[in-house]
Structure 1
């Protein structure tokens, strides 16, 4: 979903740039409440993982491919505010060094992939945690569902932005149908990757997963008494 230069007009790109700056600024302040001796090292690893996995595309149809966006994954692993920062850094590096996403469209890409996917993925994840049994084994599935939901929503936000400031004359319903359909398929891949990644970490160190902390806090400490000879 990396938006290149020229897809949106200057006023729309400037507006999304302002929103992106504001969102990153708030995230910088709020992330202080999430970062600790466990989350801080994880943030760097999460950013590196998302950067690497975004380089790998998986096919979703003839001539169409998708890649991990990583917003929901980052939110579950290190917290939503830190997740916004992780994905924003990845998008900045990709734009400046690899020309993946336009420089003038950087604000748009941050709004779509670092803000929208984190927000939607985290809200869906927390809602599932609230209504489903508080089991650690469900955390990867909840994260995967949140990741799946975040992708078509981000695609829909792009369509709305394009309807406001798109540089080509494309019918709204045509663009929405194409974007939503393709990104629903991409969302399946996003959900699977997110579920597997979160599950792998929970299997080894569940305390490193930010989104699993409420579940871990509810677990009772069971002390086994030594057997009497």
Structure 2
């Protein structure tokens, strides 16, 4: 899902950078006041884990790749603001140090994987937990976390497909890029959903307090 340099036209580069910066500026105003050393430690730990997982890439037609994203997982554990910060740290290091994704497309990559995926994962999880909670109040987390991981990757892939498909620099149009990106990431999302569901279920069983220190800024 990392879009390389040369794929996006100047308006798309400027637009995605602007949206990304505005998101962190606006949401950060509400979230930074609650930042604690405990949350910082959790951000760095999760960022390291997601960074390693994202290094496994499978190329797909159209010039981009499939890989574990982790945006839904970050959103569930850390909330929208801290989850997006975690993903942004991962994506920036990958672009600058490992050339995984371009510098000109950094705004788009953070927008797709660090904002869209995080928000979709976070809200899918919250809504699903409420809908699937039993009458006794007992909450199930595997299915909501599975759906969060699945939908976060799928929607982020579709958004990336729209961006490159509508960019004049890319040789294929939206009728090619969206089905390819959406289709492959819909399938990959099943694996991401399973991983996310298992991780969240384990956390809830072993250390549920982790989910109680989220930086929910939205």
User: Normalised by the size of structure 2, how large is the TM-score?
Assistant: 0.86
1:39: Cα distance to partner? 2.9
Query: Where does structure 1 lack aligned partners over 5 or more consecutive residues?
Result: 213-229
Does 2:160 match 1:177? no
**CA–CA distance in structure 1, aligned partners of residues 71 and 14 of structure 2:** 23
Query: Where does structure 2 lack aligned partners over 5 or more consecutive residues?
Result: none
Q: How does 1:95-114 map to 2 (within 5 A)?
A: 95-114=95-114
Does 2:156 match 1:159? no
| SS of match in other structure, 1:45 | helix
Who is 2:146 aligned against?
144
Provide closer, same or farther for how the CA distance between residues 140 and 45 of structure 1 changes in structure 2, counting only shifts above 3 A.
Answer: farther
User: Normalised by the size of structure 1, how large is the TM-score?
Assistant: 0.82
| SS of match in other structure, 2:19 | helix
| SS of match in other structure, 1:135 | coil
Computed over aligned residues only, the root mean square deviation of the Cα atoms, in angstroms, reads: 2.4
1:36: Cα distance to partner? 4.0
Q: How does 1:189-204 map to 2 (within 5 A)?
A: 189-204=191-206
Does 2:15 match 1:15? yes
**CA–CA distance in structure 1, aligned partners of residues 54 and 177 of structure 2:** 24
**CA–CA distance in structure 1, aligned partners of residues 174 and 157 of structure 2:** 13
Greater C-alpha radius of gyration: 1
Residue deviations 1:188-225 (CA, integer Å, cap 9, x gap):
1111111122222222111112499xxxxxxxxxxxxx
Provide closer, same or farther for how the CA distance between residues 58 and 196 of structure 1 changes in structure 2, counting only shifts above 3 A.
Answer: farther
- Choose 181-190 or 192-201, whichever is displaced more: 192-201
Q: Give aligned pairs, total.
A: 209
Preserved CA contact (<8 Å) 1:74 1:118: yes
1:123: Cα distance to partner? 1.4
Residue deviations 1:81-140 (CA, integer Å, cap 9, x gap):
10000000110111111100001110010110001001111111111122111434x223
Provide closer, same or farther for how the CA distance between residues 60 and 34 of structure 1 changes in structure 2, counting only shifts above 3 A.
Answer: farther
